[in-house]
């Protein structure tokens, strides 16, 4: 084992440079913060910059946090933690004001009021946008500008965290590697507190709207460190990714359906009208499964925006317009081919109301966290706002604690697990593709006991291979955590649909919490499946 280099990250190490990560870092003033931004360009690593939808906040005269709360509860299909959803609904307007103070130019009407748009399952217009569909990109640009102006925030690029480290049982940093190198020599990065803001797991599936870095690294690290996890079965598939064979798949924002765009099959039929009273604005899981049904009987599916948006496309939805035009589709005059794509993970690392995880010294916010806000199905445009509400709460709690005396040495810290130090290879790429296929076919939009067990058997076979590259090792860990939770949840609810158990069962109307270590025992006790621990 090579002796690691040691980096002093200051008071707080933030893992991840999406909205959750950099907003938390900005709110932590005057603490000295290091943001670990991942392998390449910090700005391109997170999903936040790709968000088209905007942020949900009860800002309209006819709206209230109570209505926002009730829509969030309804979307979450019985699993939303009401206290958490209330916090978000009540604090969302202040977080939008924070962004205004940072200089985010939200779309406004002629009187200077922020324009509020509508999305599925919101009872009021409450989505704030920037330049139509550019909210994520503009918010991230604005906040990066603020980060660059802050001397106390150090952004570290080129390193990828692979393992949380503890001293005396308390999380105090990470091992990180340069995963583009041939030799993954670990670097030890130490800090007073660690904030996990590493995003989601979309890249575990064949088709995703998430950036390639969304491989569940943070979830895998927290799981191995023994953190409490919850509801990992719940993956939200966005119904309308643009289906032009790109990976990741560009998104056709739900706001288009909010504007009246309709879904049609190759025969021009509006199939959603027969499927749900809200037609195209039904909950995402329902729309996504109806599209999948069409595709599985050989139909193509299109989002027809020609009447609802037409000539206004370039101004109203510049991002979608650009994605379509670059694929040779003019959405002003022709329908956009669409397919469902893995979009958001509702489950993750359990936190309390202040973003504290079950591990001392470790906090979590953004998609990697499971605050309880989204339950079984996230309400559109609630994720950026959740990331900021919890980023602000984590910062407030850290700032209220006495400063921790930092020990910048490796004393008392074990070595990095050698299994995390295997470089990625071409063969590794092949295995990654295989895992993504398995997840899509057997742990995707529609699951059964049989499909989930066979996925787990495949993961066991893969795991048995020697010297698995880092990506494969991590992805199997996360894939297994999702598949086992899905197997244990013997019902259908929100983003989790079991074709063999299509009804919702009141016995499961609660959050499923567990540690990685618990899973093998639970699966043996509840489903009778004996497994070896991973």
Residues 6 or more apart in contact with residue 82 via CB below 8 angstroms:
69, 73
The answer to the question of residue 383 lying near ligand SIN (CB under 6 A) is yes
User: How many Cβ atoms sit within 10 Å of the Cβ of residue 529?
Assistant: 18
Q: Out of 381, 451, 474, 477, which residue is the one contacting ligand SIN (CB under 6 A)?
A: 381
Comparison of 237 and 459: residue with beta carbon closer to ligand SIN: 237
Comparison of 198 and 383: residue with beta carbon closer to ligand SIN: 383
Distance in Å, CB of 238 to ligand SIN, minimum = 6
52-71 positions binding ligand SIN, by CB under 6 A? 52-53
The answer to the question of residue 380 lying near ligand SIN (CB under 6 A) is yes
Distance in Å, CB of 168 to ligand SIN, minimum = 40
The answer to the question of residue 253 lying near ligand SIN (CB under 6 A) is yes
Comparison of 262 and 438: residue with beta carbon closer to ligand SIN: 262
Q: How far apart are CA 391 and CA 21, in angstroms?
A: 7
Residues 6 or more apart in contact with residue 529 via CB below 8 angstroms:
453, 456, 487, 523
Given 32, 284, 378, 447, the catalytic residue: 284
What stretches of 322-440 adopt beta strand conformation (E)? 336-345, 348-350, 362-364, 369-370
Q: How far apart are CA 216 and CA 202, in angstroms?
A: 8
Comparison of 232 and 253: residue with beta carbon closer to ligand SIN: 253
Q: Out of 81, 98, 231, 254, which residue is the one contacting ligand SIN (CB under 6 A)?
A: 254
Place of tokens 């990331």: 387
Residue nearest to ligand SIN (CB): 53
Q: Name the nearest CA neighbour of 508 among 486, 528, 482, 490.
A: 490
Buried-state track 451-490, b at ≥16 Cβ within 10 A, e below 16: bbbebbebbeebeeeeebbbbbbbbbbbbbbbbbbbbbbe
Distance in Å, CB of 213 to ligand SIN, minimum = 18
Comparison of 57 and 227: residue with beta carbon closer to ligand SIN: 57
Distance in Å, CB of 343 to ligand SIN, minimum = 6
Distance of CA 225 to the CA centre of its chain: 20
Joined tokens for residue 426: 């071409």
The answer to the question of residue 48 lying near ligand SIN (CB under 6 A) is no
The answer to the question of residue 479 lying near ligand SIN (CB under 6 A) is no
Has 284 been annotated as catalytic?
yes
Distance in Å, CB of 209 to ligand SIN, minimum = 8
Q: Which residues bind ligand SIN (CB under 6 A)?
A: 52-53, 253-255, 343, 380-381, 383
Catalytic residue set: 284
């Amino acid at each position: 084992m090579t002796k690691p280099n040691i980096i002093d990250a200051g008071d707080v190490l933030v893992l991840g440079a999406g909205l959750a990560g950099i907003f938390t870092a900005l709110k932590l003033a005057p603490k000295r913060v290091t943001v670990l931004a991942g392998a390449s360009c910090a700005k391109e690593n997170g999903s936040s910059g790709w968000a088209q939808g905007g942020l949900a906040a009860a800002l309209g005269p006819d709206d209230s946090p109570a209505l926002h709360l009730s829509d969030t509860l309804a979307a979450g299909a019985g699993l939303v933690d009401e206290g958490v959803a209330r916090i978000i609904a009540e604090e969302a307007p202040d977080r939008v004001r924070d962004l205004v103070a940072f200089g985010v130019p939200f779309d406004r009407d002629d009187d200077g009021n922020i324009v509020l748009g509508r999305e599925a399952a919101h009872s009021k217009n409450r989505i704030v946008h920037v330049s139509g569909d550019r909210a994520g990109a503009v918010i991230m640009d604005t906040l990066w500008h603020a980060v660059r102006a802050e001397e106390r925030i150090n952004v570290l690029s080129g390193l990828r965290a692979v393992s949380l480290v503890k001293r005396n049982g308390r999380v105090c940093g990470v091992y990180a590697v340069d995963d583009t190198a041939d030799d993954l020599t670990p670097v030890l990065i130490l800090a007073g507190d660690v904030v996990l803001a590493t995003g989601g797991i979309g890249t575990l599936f064949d088709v995703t709207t998430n950036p390639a870095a969304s491989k569940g690294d943070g979830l895998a690290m927290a799981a191995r460190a023994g953190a409490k996890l919850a509801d990992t079965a719940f993956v939200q598939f966005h119904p309308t990714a643009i289906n032009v064979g790109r990976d990741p798949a560009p998104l056709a924002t739900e706001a288009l359906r909010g504007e009246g765009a309709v879904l049609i099959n190759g025969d021009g039929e509006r199939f959603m009208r027969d499927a749900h009273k809200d037609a195209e604005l039904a909950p995402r899981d329902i729309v996504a499964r109806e599209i999948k049904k069409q595709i599985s009987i050989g139909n193509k599916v299109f989002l027809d925006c020609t009447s609802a948006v037409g000539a206004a496309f370039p101004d109203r939805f510049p991002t979608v317009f650009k994605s379509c035009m670059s694929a040779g589709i003019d959405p002003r005059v022709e329908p956009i081919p669409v397919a469902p794509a893995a979009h958001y993970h509702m489950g993750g690392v359990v936190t309390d109301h202040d973003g504290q995880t079950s591990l001392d010294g470790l906090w979590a916010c953004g998609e990697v966290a499971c605050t309880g806000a989204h339950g079984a199905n996230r309400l559109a445009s609630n994720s950026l706002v959740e990331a900021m509400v919890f980023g602000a709460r984590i910062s407030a709690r850290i700032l209220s604690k006495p400063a921790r005396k930092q020990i910048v040495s490796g004393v008392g810290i074990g070595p990095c697990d050698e299994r995390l130090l295997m470089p990625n290879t071409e063969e590794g790429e092949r295995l990654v593709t295989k895992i993504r296929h398995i997840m899509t076919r057997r742990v995707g939009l529609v699951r059964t006991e049989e499909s989930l067990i066979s996925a787990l058997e495949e993961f066991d076979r893969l795991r048995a291979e020697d010297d698995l590259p880092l990506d494969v090792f991590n992805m199997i860990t996360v894939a297994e955590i999702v598949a086992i939770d899905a197997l244990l949840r013997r019902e259908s609810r929100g983003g989790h649909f079991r074709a063999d158990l299509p009804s919702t069962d009141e016995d499961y109307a609660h959050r499923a919490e567990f540690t990685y270590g618990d899973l093998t025992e639970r699966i043996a006790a509840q489903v009778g499946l004996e497994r070896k621990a991973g």
